[in-house]
């Protein structure tokens, strides 16, 4: 089942790339495994799926410790500053940085471990009250400040679009984030490489790909619905 789901998502990625005149190798699939058992990850690992996204620090650390062989963990959820120390050397990318406060904490913990942390800036492009992320208009200034932190490396932008019935409604947000991404990339800021645009989830990843996503975060379409009760 999981393997078939993965295959089907990959087929849809390829089709969306084809429509957009893009090469599927330009799009990295992060399988969002939050609230799903380690066995599910082991199954997909056997199929060659290496990138996994988690929202909760404790869950990421548990899975990190018990997985049979190393995978690439992505921190995609909102994070309290006092939790940074637990994941700093366990993740390949932190998608959810939306303040200088948090970036400074990442700098501090990365410096202690003598590593450089790759991060994305989370933008609330649809201005939803319920979502984390900063306004598009604040993004460039924040990136300029973070670029001065030697152990933090900005790699791009991330957003979570609203949950809507018709994913076409989110196209404008993806387009807007892509434009912002290009604008900032064109500034050629030292210590900033704008090469990752993380947008698109189960409901809207094909549209996100058509609008330039280089990384999509897909949970439900691969693992099935999550049980929050
Ligand atoms: C849960 C989550 C996803 C995956 O959502 P699905 O709709 O299950 O694909 C992607 N990104 C973030 C930030 C999430 O919290």
Separation CA 78–CA 96 (nearest Å): 6
Instruction: Report pLDDT digits (tens) over 153-200.
Output: 999 999 999 999 999 999 999 999 999 999 999 999 999 999 999 999
In this predicted structure, the answer to whether residue 127 has a pLDDT above a threshold of 90 is: no
In this predicted structure, the answer to whether residue 30 has a pLDDT above a threshold of 90 is: yes
Q: Answer whether residue 200 is part of any domain.
A: yes
Q: Is 218's C-beta closer than 6 angstroms to any atom of ligand 1?
A: yes
Q: Is 78's C-beta closer than 6 angstroms to any atom of ligand 1?
A: no
Residue 74: which CATH number? 3.20.20.10
CA–centroid distance, 72 to ligand 1, in Å, is 17
| Mean pLDDT across the chain | 97
Query: Which residue CA neighbors atom 5 of ligand 1 most closely?
Result: 219
Q: What does residue 204 show for φ and ψ, rounded to 5 degrees?
A: -140, 15
Q: Closest ligand 1 atom to the C-alpha of 217?
A: 10
- Ligand 1: which of 59, 217, 220 to mutate, most ligand atoms within 8 Å of CB? 217
Q: Which residues of 103-136 are buried (b: 16+ CB within 10 A; e: fewer)?
A: bbbbbbbbbeeeeebbbbbbbbbbeeeebebbeb
Instruction: Report pLDDT digits (tens) over 101-118.
Output: 999 999 999 999 999 999
- Overall domain count for the chain: 1
pTM of the model: 0.97
Q: Answer whether residue 46 is part of any domain.
A: yes
Q: Is 36's C-beta closer than 6 angstroms to any atom of ligand 1?
A: no
Q: What percent of the chain has pLDDT over 90?
A: 96
pLDDT band at 51 (very low <50, low <70, confident <90, very high): very high
CA–centroid distance, 125 to ligand 1, in Å, is 16
Q: Answer whether residue 89 is part of any domain.
A: yes
Residue 173's domain spans which residues?
Answer: 2-223
In this predicted structure, the answer to whether residue 229 has a pLDDT above a threshold of 80 is: no
Query: Which residue CA neighbors atom 4 of ligand 1 most closely?
Result: 219
Q: Is 55's C-beta closer than 6 angstroms to any atom of ligand 1?
A: yes
CA atoms within 13 A on the CB side of 180: 28
Q: Answer whether residue 229 is part of any domain.
A: no
In this predicted structure, the answer to whether residue 130 has a pLDDT above a threshold of 80 is: no
In this predicted structure, the answer to whether residue 141 has a pLDDT above a threshold of 80 is: yes
Q: Closest ligand 1 atom to the C-alpha of 32?
A: 4
Q: Answer whether residue 173 is part of any domain.
A: yes
Q: Answer whether residue 201 is part of any domain.
A: yes
Q: Answer whether residue 228 is part of any domain.
A: no
Q: Answer whether residue 127 is part of any domain.
A: yes
pLDDT band at 50 (very low <50, low <70, confident <90, very high): very high
Query: Which residue CA neighbors atom 10 of ligand 1 most closely?
Result: 217
């Amino acid at each position: 089942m999981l393997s078939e789901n993965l295959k089907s998502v990959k087929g849809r990625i390829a089709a969306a790339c084809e429509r957009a005149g893009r090469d599927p190798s330009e799009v990295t699939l992060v399988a969002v495994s939050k609230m799903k058992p380690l066995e599910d990850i082991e199954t997909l690992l056997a199929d060659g799926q290496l990138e996994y996204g988690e929202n909760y620090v404790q869950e990421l650390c548990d899975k990190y410790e018990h997985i049979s062989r190393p995978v690439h963990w992505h921190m995609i959820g909102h994070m309290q500053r006092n939790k940074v120390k637990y994941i700093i050397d366990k993740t390949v990318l932190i998608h959810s940085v939306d303040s200088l406060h948090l970036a400074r904490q990442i700098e501090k913990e990365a410096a202690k471990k003598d590593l450089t942390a790759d991060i994305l800036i989370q933008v609330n492009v649809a201005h939803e009250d319920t979502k984390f992320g900063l306004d598009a208009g604040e993004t460039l200034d924040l990136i300029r400040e973070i670029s001065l932190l030697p152990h933090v490396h900005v790699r791009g932008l991330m957003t979570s679009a609203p949950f809507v019935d018709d994913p076409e409604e989110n196209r404008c947000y993806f387009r807007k984030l892509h434009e912002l991404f290009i604008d900032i990339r064109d500034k050629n800021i030292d210590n900033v490489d704008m090469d990752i645009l993380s947008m698109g989830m189960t409901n809207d990843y094909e549209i996100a790909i058509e609008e330039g996503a280089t990384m999509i975060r897909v949970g439900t379409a691969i693992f099935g619905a999550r049980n929050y009760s």
